[in-house]
Amino acid sequence: MSLQQPPSLFPDDEEALKARIEELRREIREHDYRYYVLNAPTISDAAYDALFRELVELERRAPHLITPDSPTQRVGGQVQTTFTPAPHAVPMLSLDNVFTEQELRDWDARIKRFLGLEPETVVEYTAELKIDGLSISLTYEHGVMVRAATRGTGTVGEDITPNARTIRSIPLRLRAERNEVLPERLEARGEAYLSHAEFASINAENEVTGAPTFANPRNAA
């Protein structure tokens, strides 16, 4: 009597392996989107972890199939402490601050002059809270993130791509809705920031380990 080996949980055929890896990546990206963007997860943490562990194992078996936009390339990534220059194709400017009502009125007057409006014209503005974080630029080519950079001088920043990969809310690959064709090159600009709760947690951990603490959430980011 011969004993049969139980079927493998992992595909042996190269094409099947590649297909399963791509399927897992799509599933994990979808769940990341639902969790971090929609705040409406549809699976448990345990189920998500199972998908992720399977992807890690398959990529371990086939390292030639690892791609820069794979979800495995962000978790546990190595954070850089020295950076290379990253020129901005379009200057990355900052916003002016105002601290008094008169400064705000002066700004309103400048806007009206620029638009050729009479001083008594009522202009409606849309305003939103400003998050005080670190300005960053994310560059995508055909939907895949290829570079993350700080503002720096406005014309030249610092390349922080490995650091940005560790931020789970930054997509390594963009979603194409309704089979839309993603642009060849796209740049998104915004703020990387820490909540006050995350900031307090990091400083508390650093105090325990003896690592330097941060003065404020912006510096920590």
- pLDDT of 79 strictly over 60: no
Structure tokens belonging to residue 98: 């105002």
Q: What pLDDT score was predicted for residue 172?
A: 92
Share of residues in the chain with pLDDT > 70 (%): 91
pLDDT digit string (tens) for 6-47? 444 566 688 899 999 999 999 998 998 888 777 788 988 889
Q: What is the mean pLDDT of the chain?
A: 86
CA angle 149, 161, 60 (to 5 degrees): 170
Q: What pLDDT score was predicted for residue 86?
A: 93
Residue positions annotated with a catalytic role: 130
Q: Which carries the bigger pLDDT value, residue 98 or residue 55?
A: 55
Q: Look at residues 92, 18, 100 and name the one whose alpha carbon lies nearest to residue 58.
A: 18
Q: Look at residues 134, 133, 137, 146 and name the one whose alpha carbon lies nearest to residue 88.
A: 137
Q: Which uninterrupted H or E stretch holds 187?
A: strand 185-192
Q: What pLDDT score was predicted for residue 41?
A: 86
Q: Show the domains of the chain with their CATH numbers.
A: 14-73 (1.10.287.610), 85-93+133-220 (3.30.470.30), 96-129 (no CATH)
Q: Which carries the bigger pLDDT value, residue 69 or residue 102?
A: 102
Q: What pLDDT score was predicted for residue 99?
A: 83
Q: How confident is the model at residue 98 (pLDDT cuts 50, 70, 90)?
A: confident
164: left (phi over 0), alpha (psi -120 to 50) or beta: alpha
Q: How confident is the model at residue 199 (pLDDT cuts 50, 70, 90)?
A: confident
pTM confidence score: 0.67
Alpha-helical segments (H) within 41-183: 45-61, 101-115, 161-164
Share of residues in the chain with pLDDT > 90 (%): 47
Q: What are the beta bridge partners of residue 141? A: 144, 185
Q: What are the beta bridge partners of residue 65? A: none
Nearest-angstrom CA–CA distance, 21 and 55: 6
Beta strands 85-87; 134-141: pairing state: unpaired
- pLDDT of 2 strictly over 50: no
- pLDDT of 160 strictly over 80: yes
Q: What pLDDT score was predicted for residue 77?
A: 47
Q: How confident is the model at residue 59 (pLDDT cuts 50, 70, 90)?
A: very high
